[in-house]
Amino acid sequence: MKRYRVCVLGGGPAGLAAAASAADENASVLIVEREKKLGGILKQCIHDGFGLIHFKERLTGPEYAERYIKDMIQKDVDYITSSFVTDVKKLSDGGFELELQTQEGMEKVESDTIVLACGCRERTSRQVFVHGDRPAGIYTAGTAQYFVNIMGYMPTKKCVIIGSGDIGMIMARRLTLEGAQVEGVYEIKDAPAGLDRNVAQCLDDYNIPLHLSTTVTQVFGNKRVEAVEVCQVDKKFNPIKETARIIECDSLILSVGLLPENEIADKLGIEIDNATKGPLVDQTFMTNVPGVFSCGNALHVNDLVDYVSENASLTGKYAAIYQPSNRTLVKINYSNKDFLYVVPQYYDSSKGGELNLYFRAQKEVRNHKVAFLINDEVELDKTYKRMLPSEMEAVKIKTEKTVEHAALRMGGPQK
């Protein structure tokens, strides 16, 4: 049976970057990808806006993925597509045996380490509370995107979008450009869930109304969606009945959030963070199971693919150079009044080294200071002009100290 140094599960931008950087460390690497082609979600993102940070260029999703695919192929990384892992077992020597369903049948490989790079999936109508019928015409935004951009089908002539996530806003523009009428985007919270730039470029530029503090409360239709009911909500998100309005449409498109894909993590007994729904990791992006790493959207939902590639490159390197050792995990403390989440959640002070920290604010704040404290001393502080829950922040912390306590703190407004 072939033994690899690193086995990467998922061939999206995270898996590709992790594989390439592991190969840079002379590791033998295998990527296992469930779909026919590598590239992950980027294959269907034909709009531009990818790579602004990493390549300083405006690339489409497929162009961005292609650069990483070429790089990975040049580095002699092995990959198999249309395949997925059906079982993983821990070996007595610390490595793993993976059982794969491939096009040729069941196969087994061994690997010293595993990188989980399975991306995320969209929340569906089962995860939001909409009453009424379940006719055809209810899609997630990613499914609508797959229909239009990959299959060349128009899923709607007139639709309503529930949720103001980035994919929903991108699809509002895309469907408008393809001739559909997007009646409006309805967001239950009082602020958009996606990036400001998408509100401006995908909604405002196309006169697509964004209704905040409003949601879809009912779907009507026999075989196909015929109409939806929308209602404004109060501060506790309860619909205000008197504001109910019926909108005729043939589709309801959901853009109500993403969830890290972590079925294999479950099998391995990996601990999941309630805030991110991805694994708990240390600064090397290693989970509580030694030798198993996580990166990209499987770790936490990133807003920009550039951050995914950056974090995955580090993860691939750490997986390649991993040596079993005792760990001294120090929890990175934060208040969930200030932050939605902080990743990594732990610092392994027995390893030391740089900490690449990703976090999101709990609510919009302006001119606030964020400080990172090691052993109660400020190691880094930075004033942010504006922080939003929809925008992920990233900082690097270099320290020579033996970390005994670590915390991310938000200070009050600065002058």
- Cβ proximity to ligand FAD: between 137 and 168 the closer is 168
296-355 positions binding ligand FAD, by CB under 6 A: 296-298, 302, 304-305, 308
DSSP type of residue 146:
I
Under rule CB under 6 A, residue 194 binds ligand FAD: no
Is 177 or 240 the residue whose CB approaches ligand FAD more closely? 177
Q: Which of residues 371-390 bind ligand FAD (CB under 6 A)?
A: none
Q: Are strands 29-32 and 3-9 parallel, antiparallel or unpaired?
A: parallel
88 touching ligand FAD, by CB under 6 A = no
Near ligand FAD by CB under 6 A, which window of 111-119, 124-132, 199-207, 335-343?
111-119
Spatial contact of 217 and 230, defined as CB atoms under 8 Å apart: yes
Stretch that binds ligand FAD, among 19-27, 36-44, 235-243, 267-275 (CB under 6 A): 36-44
Q: Which residues inside 245-264 make contact with ligand FAD, applying CB under 6 A?
A: 261, 264
Using CB under 6 A, which of 118, 180, 202, 254 touches ligand FAD?
118
Q: Which residue is nearest to ligand FAD (CB)?
A: 12
Nearer to ligand FAD, 166 or 348 (CB): 166
Residue 143 beta carbon to ligand FAD: minimum distance, rounded to whole angstroms: 10
CA–CA gap between residue 382 and residue 288 (Å, rounded) = 30
CA angle 127, 133, 137 (to 5 degrees): 80
Other Cβ atoms less than 10 A from the Cβ of 106: the count is 10
Considering the complex, what minimum distance in angstroms separates the CB of residue 117 from ligand FAD? Answer: 5
Segment lying near ligand FAD (by CB under 6 A), choices 26-34, 205-213, 348-356, 402-410: 26-34
Element (H, E) at 316: helix 305-321
Give the dihedral sign, CA 152/155/156/161. negative
Are the beta carbons of 122 and 141 closer than 8 angstroms?
A: yes
Cβ nearer to ligand FAD, comparing 89 with 366? 89
Nearer to ligand FAD, 50 or 372 (CB): 50
Find, among 185, 188, 157, 163, the residue nearest to 172 by Cα: 185
- Judge whether 61 and 170 are in contact, CB under 8 Å: no
Size of the site for ligand FAD (CB under 6 A): 37
Quote the tokens at residue 283: 């600064």
Using CB under 6 A, pick the residue from 5, 8, 13, 210 that binds ligand FAD: 13
CB of 301 to ligand FAD, least distance (A): 8
Query: What are the CA-CA distances from residue 195 to residues 26, 167, 168, 183 (Å)?
Result: 38, 10, 11, 20
Q: How many CA atoms lie within 13 A of 383 on its CB side?
A: 8
- Report if residue 117 touches ligand FAD, rule: CB under 6 A: yes
Residue from the set 7, 30, 32, 233 that interacts with ligand FAD by CB under 6 A: 32
Q: Which of 7, 8, 9, 88 binds ligand FAD (CB under 6 A)?
A: 9
Between CA 116 and CA 131 the distance in angstroms is 36
- For residues 206 to 245, the per-residue mask of contacts with ligand FAD, x marking binding by CB under 6 A and - elsewhere, is ----------------------------------------
Out of 3, 24, 25, 34, point to the residue binding ligand FAD (CB under 6 A): 34
Our measurement of the distance from residue 290's CA atom to the centroid of its chain's CA atoms, rounded to an integer in Å, reads: 23
Between CA 36 and CA 284 the distance in angstroms is 30
**DSSP state letters, 13-78:** HHHHHHHHHHHHTT--EEEE-SSSSSSGGGGG--SEEESTTTTSS-EEHHHHHHHHHHHHHHTT-E
Q: How far is the CB of 401 from ligand FAD (least distance, A)?
A: 32
Kind of pairing between the strands at 84-90 and 225-232: unpaired
Q: Per-residue contact track with ligand FAD, 140 to 179, x per CB under 6 A?
A: --x--x--------------------xx--x---------
Side-chain half-sphere exposure of 314, counting CA atoms within 13 A: 20
Tell me whether residue 122 or residue 282 sits nearer to ligand FAD (CB atom). 122
Note the residues at the interface with ligand FAD (CB under 6 A).
9-15, 32-35, 40-42, 45, 47, 49-50, 84-85, 117-119, 142, 145, 166-167, 170, 261, 264, 296-298, 302, 304-305, 308
